[in-house]
Structure 1
Amino acid sequence: MDDDLLLVEDLLLVLLDDDGGHIHGEGMLYAILGGAVIVELAQRGLVRTDSGQTVEVVPGATPPADPLLRAAFDTIATKRRLVLTRIAEIGPSLREDVLDRLEERGLVARSRERVLGFIPVTRLRTLDSTHEDAVVARLRAVLVDGEQPDARTAALAALLWASDQLPALHARIPWTNDVASRALALQQGDWGASAVDVYVAGVLAATVSVSTAVAAAAASGTASS
């Protein structure tokens, strides 16, 4: 198991459908991954929130050595801004950046093909599931068996729940009332979470609500036309 993978890398591995080759939550992936990066910075004591809505670098904090975290840290260091704004700034490039890192580690592979001879598509597949299996096992222990979570697993479960992606993992983490209750409690910070962690999860939950409302409105408009 690669213990030095970032939270955002764990998250993308879990969201990658090993059979279908697609990523769950693709439509809001920028927010999910951007949120994970900010949560990791907060857990490392590098960023903080004062009002629960804005995020800033902790005075005197040493920039992280990891280039992906450093880029986010430098963005946040410019000035105090809303967490939602920072997610929108940090998130869009993360899909490809994280996939690059996972591919370099030999965990996933991308292949470029053409459908119908001319439509370019990129296929994703898992090459080595050892680390991913260990991450899922920790999630199951917390969400299914009710074990006490470490901060990293709690944050991962909270992000999956808040982004509405936990049900998509039902083949590996059974979707039950108990699992939903435990995940909701983690999203609400029932594990000693920082204010940043809780607010990021709230932003993701709000993003899901807005996306659902927009999709419903669009469907309603199509049906009535």
Structure 2
Amino acid sequence: MSRQPDEPPVEARADSASEAHSSGPPTLPEDLLLLLFRPEQGVILFRPEQGVIAGETTLFYALAGAVLADLALQGALAAQRTRAASVDVQAVQGKAPSDEILLDAWKYLSDGPRGVQTVLPAIGPTLRQPVLDRLLARGDMRKEKRTVLTFFNTTVLREGHSGRRAGLVKDVRDVLVDGKEPTARTAALAALIWGSGTLHQFDPEIPWNSSVIDRARRLEEGNWGAGATGEAVTRTMTAAIVNNVISATASVSARQ
């Protein structure tokens, strides 16, 4: 999928966000990237193709979807169906988020309605590094020096000592494996993992079987159960965002 000529990436805004380590609670894109991190692989930082992050080639779509979903959960994003059955999103005035990364996207969406399929490639490509920087700053991930072949010094990524990734995996596993009713945030997170096409890579942490797939698909459709707080419009909006992530990811995968 190509970006429309009048929809450039918001690189200038992302540059400022990359320097801002949030002191507030973790954002949804932070949680998503931490979950997609494969700590057992310890990938060399200058060799990202080795796959330290699951779904690396389409990661920016998933992270952008997480930004939009986070804004939706905060009531900072409005959506409407177009005549072509696509979805346009727009920032809700007076609902500017305090987090810098989310604020950059909110400002970008303050100019007027934009199609989700246009927004994802516009805000997504510059998200990986600032989100990764935050995980490192929080101690959720860490860098480790390593010597390869006795004389090559390199740096690998390792899981930090916060224990937060294990907690996130448990939350998603409780929903997808044990059928526990999710919070709205966990529902969105699990739906985004499914939408990114990486859920099967969590096996055996989250077994890849028909019941897990069925539950993930229900979350994708916005069927979060009575326990997931939030208005129906937020569920519908998040479902539309996840479906656009799925479409964008599938389009890229088909070209590879």
Question: What range is the shorter-chain TM-score in?
Answer: 0.7 to 0.9
Query: Residue 223 of structure 2 aligns with which residue?
Result: 190
Contact 1:107–1:128 under 8 Å retained in 2: yes
TM-score by length of 1: 0.87
| Alpha-carbon displacement from aligned partner over 1:18-49 (angstroms, at most 9, x marks no partner) | 11130001000110001000000011000111
2: CA distance, partners of 1:26 / 1:76: 26
Contact 2:24 / 2:99 at 8 angstroms: preserved in 1? Answer: no
- 8 Å contact from structure 2 (residues 117, 248) kept in 1: no
Deviation at 1:129, TM superposition (A): 4.9
Q: Please, which runs of 5 or more residues in structure 1 have no aligned partner? A: 216-225
Q: What residue is the counterpart of 2:168 in the other structure?
A: 135
Contact 1:49 1:195 in 2 (8 A): no
Aligned to 1:220: none
What is the CA-CA distance between 1:208 and the residue it aligns to? 2.6
**Equivalent-residue separation in structure 1 for 2:204 and 2:177 (angstroms):** 13
Greater share of helix: 1
Cα distance between partner residues in 2 of 1:212 and 1:23 = 16
Q: 1:98: Cα distance to partner?
A: 0.4
SS of residue matched to 2:241: helix
Match of 1:19 among 25, 36, 40: 40
1:107 aligns with 2:140: yes
| 1:83-122 map, 5 Å | 83-110=116-143
Partner of 1:7: 28
**Runs of 5+ consecutive residues of structure 2 not aligned to the other structure:** 1-22, 43-51, 225-231
**Structure 2 match to 1:200:** 241
* Identity fraction in percent: 36
Q: CA RMSD in A?
A: 2.4
1:146-225 matched pairs, under 5 angstroms: 146-191=179-224, 192=232, 193-215=234-256
Give the corresponding residue for 2:66.
36
Q: Deviations over 1:186-205 (max 9, x none)?
A: 00111245332111111111
Count of aligned residue pairs for this structure pair: 213
